[in-house]
Amino acid sequence: MTSHLQHVDPEIFNAVQEETERQNARLELIASENFVSLAVLQAMGQVMTNKYAEGYPGRRYYGGCEFVDVAENLARERAKRLFKADHANVQPHSGSQANIAAYFSLIQYGDKVLGMNLSHGGHLTHGSPVNFSGRFFQMFHYGVGRDGYIDMNQVEDIALREKPRLIITGASAYARKIDYAAFRDIADRAGAKLIADIAHPAGLIAAELIPSPLPHCHLVTTTTHKTLRGPRGGMILIGKDQENDMGVLNPKGKLKTYSEIVDSNVFPGFQGGPLMHVIAAKAVAFQEALQPEFIDYQKQIIVNAQTLAKALMKRGYDIVSGGTDTHLMLVDLRNHGITGKVAEAALERAGLTVNKNMVPFDDQSPFITSGIRLGTPALTTRGMKGSEMEMIAGFIDQVLLNSADESIQMQVRRDVADLCSLFPLYNH
Ligand SMILES: *Cc1c(COP(=O)(O)O)cnc(C)c1O
C-alpha cells in the first residue's frame, strides 16, 4: 500500500517513514498516547473513507450504506458489550466532539456547569475559557486538596451553592480512582445532570480494573485512542437508557429517550458525515478489547505505572497524591528546582517523550509548568514490564539531575535506542 504513496507523494511518504522510526526508537511516555494494532491500522486505511453515511445504520440519508452499516453496527454492539451499556454512539470524531454533543444533550447555552479545574488535572473541554465549554457555559471549578485527591467537600459545597445544571467529572492528569456514586449523589441533591468523561482510563474501566461510571451517570463520554488502544476518535455511552426527565419530546409527542437525544445531537447537531473507516477501526479495537489478553494488558499498564512511580519516589521525586491507581502519574518537579518545560526538552533530547504539565497549586504558567505527566499505556503495548520501568526511572533521573548536560542526554539516548530495539514496533 505505501509503495503508491512513495510514488505519488515522496515528501509525505518520507515523513511517515521518519515518524515510524521516531515511534520505534524512542520511549513514548505521553499518557494519552498508545500504539494501535496492525489490524486497527489496516481498518483505517481502506475504502470506507469514500462513503457518505449521514444518519445511523438502517436510517441513512444516502444510498449504498449496507456495508458501512455492518461496520457501525459491529462497533456499537461491541462497545455496548465492552462497557455494559444500553447505548453507544460511535460517531464522534474525537473526545472533544463527544463532549460538545453530550453537553448539549443535557443542558442549554449559558447554563451553569461544574467541572474539574484544568490546572488540577481537568481537560480543556471541562470549562477552559479558550474552549467552547468555557465560552458557551457559565463554568465553576472544583479541584484536588493538598493531598492530591479530588476534594469532594469542595464539589459538594460549590454544587449546592451554585446549583449547576450539569456536573462533569473525569480528567486528563488525575492518577486516582473517581467516586462516581458520590458525584451522582451530589448531582441529584443539586438538581444537576452528571457526565463522566473517561477519555483517559476507558481501557482500565473496560477491563474492570477500576470502577465504571456507567451505572451512575446520565452520559459517559470517551476517546477511543488512549488506554482503549483504538483509532483516534470519540464515543458517547449510556449505562441505562430511558425516557428523559427534561421534557424533550419526539415528533410523535412522546418523551425522547436519552439515546435519541444523544444521537440527534451528534448528527445532525454537531457533525455531518461520520468517518466510516475510523468507525470500522473502532469496531476492530473493541473486538480486541473484548479478548482476555486485553485484561492482562490493562493490568500490566497499572503495574508498570505503579513500578515507575515507586522507582521515581525512591530517587526523591515527588509524585502528586503519592502514587497512582491508573496508567499515569504527575511528577511535581519543584523540589528538583527545574520546570516542566526544561524537563520536557531535556528528556526529548534523550529520546524520552513526555509532556510538561501543571501540578495542583502550580506557581508557573501553563507554558512553563512545574511538572511532567508520565503514562505507561504505550510502553506496555510494546511489551515492557517492571525491569524496564526501573531502567526508565534511572534514565529520567540521570537526565533531570543534569538537564543542561548534553553528553549525558546523548548517552541516555543511546541506552534508550538499545532498549527500544528489544521491543520493536510494527515489525511483522
Ligand atoms: C483527551 C481528552 C479529551 C479530548 O479528546 P480529543 O480526541 O483530543 O478531542 C476529552 N476529555 C479528556 C478528559 C481527555 O483527556
pLDDT at position 2 is: 64
- Are the folds of 43-289 and 298-421 the same? no
Domain boundaries, the chain: 43-289, 298-421
Pick the CATH number of 43-289 from 3.40.640.10, 2.40.160.60, 3.40.47.40, 3.40.50.2020: 3.40.640.10
pLDDT at position 3 is: 83
Ligand 1 centroid to Cα of residue 119, in Å, is 15
Phi/psi at 207 (nearest 5 deg)? -80, 0
- pLDDT tens-digit profile, the chain (428 residues): 568 999 999 999 999 999 999 999 999 999 999 999 999 999 999 999 999 999 999 999 999 999 999 999 999 999 999 999 999 999 999 999 999 999 999 999 999 999 999 999 999 999 999 999 999 999 999 999 999 999 999 999 999 999 999 999 999 999 999 999 999 999 999 999 999 999 999 999 999 999 999 999 999 999 999 999 999 999 999 999 999 999 999 999 999 999 999 999 999 999 999 999 999 999 999 999 999 999 999 999 999 999 999 999 999 999 999 999 999 999 999 999 999 999 999 999 999 999 999 999 999 999 999 999 999 999 999 999 999 999 999 999 999 999 999 999 999 999 999 999 999 998 74
Q: Evaluate: CB of 102 within 6 angstroms of ligand 1.
A: no
Q: Evaluate: CB of 51 within 6 angstroms of ligand 1.
A: no
Pocket test residue of 100, 128, 197, 357 for ligand 1, highest count of atoms within 8 A of CB: 197
Pocket test residue of 168, 169, 172 for ligand 1, highest count of atoms within 8 A of CB: 172
Rounded distance between C-alpha atoms, residue 5 and residue 11, angstroms: 9
pLDDT at position 258 is: 98
Q: Evaluate: CB of 91 within 6 angstroms of ligand 1.
A: no
**Which cell numbers hold the place of 368?**
512553563
pLDDT at position 1 is: 53
Q: Evaluate: CB of 278 within 6 angstroms of ligand 1.
A: no
Whole-prediction pTM: 0.97
pLDDT at position 279 is: 98
- Ligand 1 atom nearest the C-alpha of 197 is 13
The residues near 77 (Cβ < 8 Å, ≥ 6 apart) are none
Q: Domain 298-421 falls in which CATH fold?
A: Aspartate Aminotransferase, domain 1 (3.90.1150)
- Ligand 1 atom nearest the C-alpha of 99 is 10
Ligand 1 centroid to Cα of residue 62, in Å, is 30
Pocket test residue of 223, 266, 355, 373 for ligand 1, highest count of atoms within 8 A of CB: 223
Q: Evaluate: CB of 257 within 6 angstroms of ligand 1.
A: no
**Which cell numbers hold the place of 135?**
465560552
Of 51, 56, 72, 197, which residue is the catalytic one?
197
Q: Evaluate: CB of 28 within 6 angstroms of ligand 1.
A: no
Rounded distance between C-alpha atoms, residue 338 and residue 133, angstroms: 32
Q: Evaluate: CB of 197 within 6 angstroms of ligand 1.
A: yes
Ligand 1 centroid to Cα of residue 251, in Å, is 33
Ligand 1 centroid to Cα of residue 115, in Å, is 14
pLDDT at position 427 is: 72
Of 125, 169, 222, 223, which residue is the catalytic one?
223
Determine whether 52 is an active site residue: yes
Ligand 1 centroid to Cα of residue 184, in Å, is 22
Query: Are the C-beta atoms of 248 and 261 separated by less than 8 Å?
Result: yes
Task: Write out pLDDT tens, residues 59-82.
Answer: 999 999 999 999 999 999 999 999
What is the 3-state secondary structure of the chain? CHHHHHHHCHHHHHHHHHHHHHHHHCEECCCCCCCCCHHHHHHHCCHHHHCCCCEECCEECCCCCHHHHHHHHHHHHHHHHHHCCCEEECCCCCHHHHHHHHHHHHCCCCCEEEEECHHHCCCHHHCCCCCHHHHHCEEEEECECCCCCECHHHHHHHHHHHCCCEEEECCCCCCCCCCHHHHHHHHHHHCCEEEEECCCCHHHHHCCCCCCCCCCCCEEEEECCCCCCCCCCEEEEECCCCECCCCCECCCCCECEHHHHHHHHHHHHHCCCCCHHHHHHHHHHHHHHCCHHHHHHHHHHHHHHHHHHHHHHHCCCEEHHHCCCCCEEEEEHHHHCCCHHHHHHHHHHCCEECEEECCCCCCCCCCCCCEEEEECHHHHHCCCCHHHHHHHHHHHHHHHHCCCCHHHHHHHHHHHHHHHHCCCCCCC
Determine whether 174 is an active site residue: no
Rounded distance between C-alpha atoms, residue 255 and residue 116, angstroms: 31
